[in-house]
Amino acid sequence: MAQPAVVAENRAMIAPSSSWVFLGLALLGLGMAVTGLVRATRLGWGNMFWFLSGWLTSELALFHVALSALVAVAFARWTDAVDFAPGRAGLVIVGLTWLGLIVMQWRTRPTQPILEQALRAGLGAGYRDSIPATRRAVLRDAIPIRELLLPFNMRDRGVERLRDIPYGDGHERQVLDLYRPAGGCAGAPVLLQIHGGGWVLGNKHEQALPLIQHLAARGWVVVTPNYRLSPRARFPDHLVDCKRAFAWVRANVARYGGDPQFIAVTGGSAGGHLTALMGLTANDSRLQPDFEDVDTKAAACVPFYGVYDFVDRHGLKGSGAAMVQWLEKTVMPCSPRTDPVLWDLASPIEQVRTDAPPFFLLHGDHDSLASVEEARLFADRLRATSTQPVVYAELPGAQHAWEVFRSVRAMHSVHAVTRFLEWVHANRTTG
């Protein structure tokens, strides 16, 4: 007569494929939870896969709980997967994954107070009081639940989008979109949103949509340009295009209801890098060929999870040497040894100046692609040098690109950036 342990072992070995599939899905879910809980910066190209998995998991943790619950119920109800050892192990793993996902969601709770504390530290405890009452009325602290339930629904009926307006000399990438209140506007403050994508990909209508829609629905004009991409384009082509788009806004935005005298700039990742350079290289004739006389000084800059040092001279990048080598091969036209001045020009941390505009820097402490340590140093350098306010907010548990779709972190960040921009606008217009 077979012993019970032998029988159990045989049952595990002859478990149906559905039991093993369920175990595999459970392990996949656990792996995604790990990437959302743990920061990784030294995996080389593996950082990209870690980011993609951890980003979606950490920002949509409760959706992952719901999805894994549906999968578990489906396997339990319509298959005999959980009657066998692999399936039962899968159930245990699902439970562990849920614990990790709940921790991820819990990490989002301090987002709003962290952002508000950063604004108060940088702008003053009573910064909201200097915003006119009519503009304070459009500010928001709470997040409507409908926005969190529909994270990818970015459209707002109160916003009009004008597409593919040329701003350059005819290059197919030198076009922009313009968002404005559907009912029209006049003299509205303007935000230039620069997309990311590692300087090699990305599009004007893909990123920062929660912020774009939020501001445009509240009376702002938001302009989103494309720019030439590497490897065909090399620095400073990307920056020159962004400045050219800025020049177009200066000359033309009044026709669309915007105020050409108030143009703030924002962007994430590579767009954050370019945003910082827009603020720190204003009116540099080397970067404004054929439009040297245009004033390209931004009213404010809001870089999200930017790259601030191309050379990694402070050793703060997790895979610093690999990053610099990739930039040399793909983005820059030469090595740092051949033209160190150009590499310094591409590094915002080397362009810090006393007359920099107000800055609001946002970064996540779980960022796998852009060094949070580098962001801290850049913020410290700005504070020590600039005569204008510098706000720095570091969000616990946040991966790269956390504000691309509507999540708790994204919407609290949108609200905080709106408060910052309204403060800058109020103080600029009142002198």
Whether 367 is catalytic is yes
Task: Characterize the bridge pairing of strands 221-225 and 175-181.
Answer: antiparallel
- Residue whose entry in the numeric block shows the structure tokens 């597409």: 163
Does the CA dihedral 211-213-219-222 come out positive or negative? positive
Euclidean distance between CA atoms 281 and 424, whole angstroms? 20
User: For residue 308, what are the CA distances in angstroms to 147, 269, 296, 372?
Assistant: 32, 10, 20, 10
Packing angle between helix 237-252 and helix 270-280, nearest 10 degrees? 60
d(CA 124, CA 121): 6
Q: Which two tokens mark 193? A: 């949103």
Residue among 195, 367, 407, 412 flagged as catalytic: 367
Is 335 one of the annotated active-site residues of the chain?
no
What's the rounded Cα separation, in Å, for the pair 245 and 195? 13
86 in Cβ contact with 23 (< 8 Å): yes
Q: Output phi, psi for 260, to 5 deg.
A: -70, -10
Cα 156 to its chain centre, rounded Å, is 20
DSSP reduced 3-state for 320: helix
Distance CA 120, CA 385 (A): 20
Catalytic residue among 19, 53, 58, 269: 269
Q: Which of 214, 400, 412, 415 is catalytic?
A: 400
Tokens, residue 246: 């800025």
Residue 237 falls in the annotated catalytic set:
no
Q: Which residues are catalytic?
A: 269, 367, 400
